[in-house]
Amino acid sequence: MSDHPRSIDGVWQEAARAYADARLGTSRRALEVHAGADFAVILTEMAELGFDLLCRSEAQEGLAQDEFVLASVLHALCTVDASVGAAVYAQGAAQLALRAVSDGSIPGTDLACAWIAWPAFHALGELVWPRLDEQGRLHGEVPMLLLGAHARAAVLPARHDDALALVMVDLTAPGCVRSAPVRTLGLAACGIVDLQLQATPAHLLSAGADQLLADLQRRLALPAMAMFCGLMQGSLATARDYSRQRHQGGGSLLGWGEVRRLLALMDERLAVATALFERHQQNEEVAVTAEHALLHTAALACELCCDGIQLLGGNGYMRASGQEKRWRDAWQLQSLGGSVAWRRQQLLPIT
């Protein structure tokens, strides 16, 4: 994966890569605990390094970066651990949403100055969101909220006057009930919860947010693609290293024809996903096709991470290898966009 040409992207990508290599690789087992205390420590460390400030507005003393910088950071993090990547994705998405409707500040509250939860589902306009009544209170449910177990606040779509609105809610407010961490297939540590909202006070950010949410969905496709590409790169690197170091039958596994064929297939899938990602990373005008590219990248990631397990044999199923976690994380990320077959039908133009 090549660095984005803008220098600040490369700086933050290198910072993310250094942190992931030094810290996350040694914490893999701890980060498998659903919303555990170890992940709260990771979030504190990430905040101390400034990763929570990437997309936060300058009015909130943030760096006001865009989805391109966010994507560079997510790629580096997800090469090692996608749970941490999912947390940074949630924060970045929420801050981009806040900046789309204001300068990022919320009058009378400091909620925008901390980690913020964001819906796990990529297709923002296609779910049944809570209803916002005339008194500014939310009623309903929110499934699968990224960072919901750790964050103080969440930015959410809501139904309001027969349209979609964008709201911010204090997760400690009366009437807001968080479930226990959802036992997901992957992304175990990043605190995914379900919300029950019963007349919960909310800050209305934008009353007519249908187009805003559609634009956000297209913009966030690039960071989501970066997460898949990171998973793929990490899986391929682990498979190559194992094949080079493991000796059997008089030499390393790299001398086995079937091993070389499978590695070549993994490399081909990564090359295709990387090309799709870089095309959208370097050309903002192709954003309209980003959701199609995201679906294809997700499928490639699931296939590659499955092969990454197979190349390690029985060791691939062991937690210590990291391969089985990448496979689970890839499938979890894919499911967050909804049913792949259904999404493809939704994107198919009908003439």
Q: Give the integer Cα–Cα distance in Å for 125 and 213.
A: 7
Report the range of poorest mean pLDDT among 6-10, 63-67, 236-240, 342-346: 342-346
pLDDT, residue 29, reads: 54
Residue 298 has pLDDT above 50, yes or no: yes
**Confidence band, pLDDT 50/70/90 cuts, at residue 348:** low
pLDDT, residue 188, reads: 87
Secondary structure percentages of the chain, helix, strand, coil, to 5: 60, 15, 25
Tens of pLDDT, residues 5-23: 455 678 899 999 999 998 8
Q: Give the integer Cα–Cα distance in Å for 78 and 193.
A: 21
pLDDT, residue 5, reads: 45
Nearest in space to 125 (alpha carbons), one of 64, 206, 32, 214:
214
Q: Are strands 203-206 and 163-170 parallel, antiparallel or unpaired?
A: antiparallel
Tens of pLDDT, residues 44-89: 999 999 999 999 999 888 999 999 999 999 999 999 999 999 999 9
Residue 296 has pLDDT above 80, yes or no: yes
pLDDT, residue 248, reads: 85
pLDDT, residue 36, reads: 64
Residue 328 has pLDDT above 60, yes or no: yes
**Confidence band, pLDDT 50/70/90 cuts, at residue 2:** very low
Residue 1 has pLDDT above 60, yes or no: no
Top-ranked range on mean pLDDT: pick from 5-14, 26-35, 144-153: 144-153
Percent of the chain with pLDDT over 70: 87
User: How far is residue 129 from each of residues 114, 119, 160, 201, 283, measured CA to CA in Å?
Assistant: 24, 10, 10, 15, 32
Residue 267 has pLDDT above 80, yes or no: yes
Strands (E), the chain: 116-119, 131-132, 137-146, 153-160, 163-170, 176-178, 193-201, 203-206
Indicate the burial class of 162 (C-beta count within 10 angstroms; 0-12, 13-18, 19 or more).
exposed
pLDDT, residue 281, reads: 79
Residue with tokens 């001398």: 255
Q: Give the integer Cα–Cα distance in Å for 15 and 208.
A: 38
User: What mean pLDDT value characterizes the chain?
Assistant: 88
Q: Give the integer Cα–Cα distance in Å for 258 and 255.
A: 9
The stretch 189-193 carries a mean pLDDT of 92
The stretch 23-31 carries a mean pLDDT of 65
pLDDT, residue 44, reads: 92
Q: Enter the pTM of the model.
A: 0.92
Q: Give the integer Cα–Cα distance in Å for 204 and 310.
A: 49
What is the set of domains in the chain, with CATH numbers? Answer: 7-111 (1.10.540.10), 126-143+153-205 (2.40.110.10), 212-347 (1.20.140.10)
- Which residues neighbour 2 within 8 Å (Cβ) at sequence distance 6 or greater? 278
**Confidence band, pLDDT 50/70/90 cuts, at residue 349:** low
Nearest in space to 31 (alpha carbons), one of 21, 18, 41, 22:
41
User: How far is residue 16 from each of residues 44, 69, 173, 219, measured CA to CA in Å?
Assistant: 15, 11, 33, 21
Q: How many CB atoms lie within 10 A of CB 224?
A: 28
Nearest in space to 73 (alpha carbons), one of 58, 41, 50, 51:
51
pLDDT, residue 344, reads: 61
pLDDT, residue 4, reads: 45
